Amino acid sequence: MTTDDIAFPSDAGTGKAFAEPIPAALLDAPLEYILVDHVRQRSLCAAFRRFTHQGYVDREEADAVVTYLRYDVDLHHRDEEEDLFPSLLRRVPLEDNLEATLARLIEDHCHSRTMIEAISKVLAKRTGNARVRLGAGARKLLLAYATSEHDHLAAENGIVLAIARVRLTKGDLKAISATMKDRHGVAA
């Protein structure tokens, strides 16, 4: 399965596609899986921009965001930090100068985790109504996350995945696939 075989949700442009699961079969093509997950993350950023514009988040969507942030984003970071990045470092020649880029991306993940905790606290609040109202601080936080994540994803797609497609071997991809499947609870 490849990204060409995936039917992206019709609401992808509205910022709700982040809640759509990625077909498990795509784990057979780990770089494609990661790329599709990046599409989901961009969808989340679009949702955050929409939330800040409207000044609230519906309770059901807030719960979906919190679940996605706490579970899916953590898995994604682990896929990259434990599988993709180390595999790349074993394959790239020094002239690719990838170590500094990967170190920066791991720092981004750490910063993202801090922001995710703060965002989760805001969106998990139970106020008794069907909406989570967003004050100025919450809107600023959501926009900061969306901006940071947008830049981060551009580097991962434009640099890391591009180099990975050239440098990683079929054996590397098979090993990455196996450990990602294990991490995601999918039979090998």
**Per-residue DSSP letter, 62:** H
**DSSP summary character for residue 50:** H
Q: Which letter does DSSP use for residue 19 in this model?
A: G
Q: Which of 6, 60, 14 is nearest to 37 (CA)?
A: 6
Q: What is the pLDDT along the chain (188 residues), one digit of tens a residue?
A: 444 444 444 444 455 678 888 999 999 999 999 999 999 999 999 999 999 999 999 999 999 999 999 999 999 999 999 999 999 999 999 888 899 999 999 999 999 999 999 999 999 987 777 889 999 999 999 999 999 999 999 999 999 999 999 999 999 999 999 999 999 999 87
pLDDT at 4: 43
- What pLDDT shows up at residue 94? 86
Q: What is the residue whose two structure tokens read 């077909």?
A: 23
What is the per-residue pLDDT for 66?
95
∠ Cα 21 150 66 (to 5°): 45
Q: How far apart (Å, rounded) are the C-alpha atoms in residues 41 and 69?
A: 9
